[in-house]
Amino acid sequence: MTDIDLLQSIGQKTFAETFSEGNTAANMAKYLAEKFSRETLLAELSNQGSEFYFAQQDDSMIGYLKINSEQAQTELQHEHALEIERIYVLQEFHGKKAGQLLYEKALEVAKLKNVQFIWLGVWEENLRAISFYKKNGFIPFDKHIFRLGDDEQTDIMMKKNIVNQ
């Protein structure tokens, strides 16, 4: 809770860097104001099924991970699953293993929680992220609608079984 301002700042910046090019300024502004408001972030931080982890280099925050288990999952809410809701890394650190380290943290938590699989939703136009998840063993299994402002977009839902790994 003491890092909420930092979470808000890194969340807004990484989301805007990643998705501004493919979306209107109005839709981005609406989404950032709603999803990264202090109230929304406080509610997320207060949810016992959600966990946040920061990635740092020296004293700078370069990204973060948000995972959800049990009822905190945004969609499936499978008792033996863990959702990766966000792996966001500042653009200047793409390709420098920060995302991989955050993913490995999610995998570590999943194994500690003894879940059967990890799942996530990724925008169908975010080819870099889709490639990253495929490289890490995720496979597509469904699609869902993600609303950004007044635009409905398609997310590819992907999962990775982790039993016996």
Question: Which positions are annotated as active-site residues?
Answer: 133
Contacts of 100 (CB under 8 A, 6+ apart): 136
* Token reading at 153: 């977009």
Task: Write the CB contacts of 30 (distance below 8 Å, at least 6 apart in sequence).
Answer: 149, 150
Nearest to 61 by CA among 120, 101, 25, 9: 9
